[in-house]
Amino acid sequence: MGGCWSQTKDQFDNLEKHTQWGIDFVEKYTKFVKERSEIELNYARQIRNLSKKYQPKKKEEDDNKYTWCRAFHSTLNELNDYAGQHELIAENMTSQIIAELMRYAQEIKTERKAHFHDGRKAQQQVEASWKQLESCKRKFERDCKEADRAQQYFEKLDADINVTKADVEKARQQAQMRHQMASDSKNEYSSCLQKFNQEQNEHYYTIIPNIFQKIQAMEEKRIERMGESLKTFAEVDRQILPIIGKCLDGITQVAESIEPKNDSSQVIESYKSGFEPPGDVEFEDYGQAMKRTVSETSLTNSRSDNKADRSSKGKSKTLWPFIKKNKGSNPEDFSHLPPEQRRKKLQAKIDDINKDIQKEMDQRDALTKMKEVYVKNPQMGDPNSVDPRLAEIAHNIEKLQAEAQKFEGWLAEVEGRMPVKSDPLKRTSVLYETQNSTPPTNNNCQKRLLSKTLNNLTDPKLLNGSVYTYFIYGLIAFLPIFSVGANEGTISVVEGELLYVIEEDKGDGWTRIRRNEEEEGYVPTSYVEVFLDSNAKGAITYI
C-alpha cells in the first residue's frame, strides 16, 4: 500500500494535527487574498480620487481647445477606467477565491471532524477489547494460581495420616473446583484473545486504513483546491491585462495626437487682440509753434502746457496699446479685453442667453399645451393654476431678451456695426429734439453706444476741466475733454466737415485729426468715415 496513509496507522494523533494545520493554512491563505483585495480597492479608490482631483473645472473647459490639454484629460479618463479594472480584481477575488475558500473551509472542517470521530471510535473499540482481554488474562492467571494452591493443599492433606478422610475429600473437591474455574478462565481468555486479535487486525488493516484513505483524499482535495485558488489568483490579474493594455494604449494614442503647431494656432486665435501695431513716430518741429483748439472754458489753455502735453503724447504713441487689467471683478461688457477677445466673449454670452430664452420658450409652450388640455378636460386640472408660472416665464423671457439686446449692442459696437443713419438734421438742442422730433432710425444700439461714450467721458479720472460740444446724429451732447496719456484734448466738429487724419485709432475708440495747421484734437472713431484724398495722406469726414 505504497503512498497510502494507512502506513501511518500508528500516527493517528500526528495526522490529526497535520490535517488541522492544513485547514489553518487555507484560512490563512483566505485572509491573505482578502487583504490583497482590500489593497486593490484602496488603490482603485486612490486612483479615482486622483483622476477626479485633476479633472478640469468648469472655468477650465476652454483649455480643451489645446491638444495637449485634451490628451491629459483623456489620460485622466483612461486612468479612471484603469482604476475600474483594479476594482474588478477585488470583486473577482472576493467572489471566486475568498467566498469559495470560506465555504470550502467549513466543509472540510465538518468532513475532517467526521473522519477523525470514526477513527477515534474505532480506536476506542480496540482499546476496550484490549482491556477485556487483559481482564480475562488476569482472571485466568488468578484462577490458575488458586487451582495450583488448592491442588497443593489437597496433596498435603492426603499425605497426612492424622487428617480425616472427610477433610481429604473436601480438599480434593476444592482442588477440582479450582481446576475447573481455571479451565473456564482459560477458555474465556482464549476466546477474548481470539476476538481481540481479530478486532485488532480489522482495526489496523481495514477500519483505520479506510478512515485514513478518506482523510488522505480530503487532504489531497484541499491541496488541489489550494492550487486552483493560486491559479485563479493569477488569472484574476491576467483577465484585466488586456483592458489595462487598452487603457495604456489609449494614453499612448492621445499622447501621439498632440499637435504643437495646432496648439500654437489656438493660442494666436485665443489671444489676438485685433489691434494694429503702432505707426511710425512723426517728427515734431518745436521750432514752429502749433496752436491747438481748446474750449473757451478750458482751465488748461496754456500754450506751454499744450506743448508739454504734445511732447508727452508723441512719446506715448510709440507704445503698443495695451489694455489695462481690472484688478477687481471684470466689467459686464468685457471692455477690459482686446477687441477680438471681447467680440468672442460677447458672442458666447449672447449664445448662452439665447439658449436660456429657448428653454424658457419651450417651457412656456409646454405649459400652454397643458393649459389647453385642462381647459378641454377640467377634471385633469385647473387651467388657472398654470397662469402664475406662465407669467413668471414671460417675465423671464422679457428679462433675458433685454439682456440679449444689451449684449448685442456691445457686440455691434465692438464689430463696428453702425445703425442706419437718418436724414441730416439741423443743429438743435437736446430739449428741442426730445420734445419736437422723432428719434433717428437706429433705436437701442445707438442709444447704448452714446450712453457708453458719455459714461466713459464723464469718468472723474478722465476729466481735465474743459467741455466740448459734439453733434451726434443731430443731437447736441455736452461732453468733457477725454484725456489720453496726458492732457491732450478733443476737438469739436460738424457734420460733413473735411478733416485730416494724423493718427489712426489704436483701439481706444478715438482718432486724432487736424482741421488746419493750428487745430488738432481727438474725435470718436465710431462717428467718422475715413477715405483717401488725392491731395493728402488721408482724410475723414464727420458723420
Model confidence at 330: pLDDT above 50: yes
- Using DSSP's 3-state secondary structure scheme, residue 259 falls into coil
| Other beta carbons less than 10 A from residue 121's beta carbon | 12
pLDDT tens digits, one per residue of 30-59: 999 999 999 999 999 999 999 999 988 876
The dihedral sign for the CA sequence 200, 201, 205, 210: negative
What are the extents of the domains in the chain? 5-263, 339-416, 473-531
Average pLDDT, the chain: 76
Instruction: Give the Cβ contact number of residue 162 at 10 Å.
Output: 6
Chain segment 452-478, per-residue pLDDT in tens: 444 444 443 333 333 333 333 333 333
Hey, what's the cell of 531? Answer: 477715405
Enumerate the β-bridge partners of residue 513. 501, 521
Residue 335, SS3 per DSSP: coil
Lowest mean pLDDT among 290-299, 388-397, 502-511: 290-299
Per the rule left: phi > 0, alpha: psi between -120 and 50, beta: everything else, 532 is beta
Equal CATH topology for 5-263 and 473-531: no
3-state SS track over 374-437: HHHCHHHCCHHHHHHHHHHHHHHHHHHHHHHHHHHHHHHHHHCCCCCCCCCCCCCCHHHHHHHC
- CATH code: domain 339-416 is 1.10.287
CATH architecture of 473-531: Roll (2.30)
CATH code for the part of the protein at 5-263: 1.20.1270.60
> What's the pTM value of the predicted model, to 2 decimals?
0.50
How much is the pLDDT for 324? 44
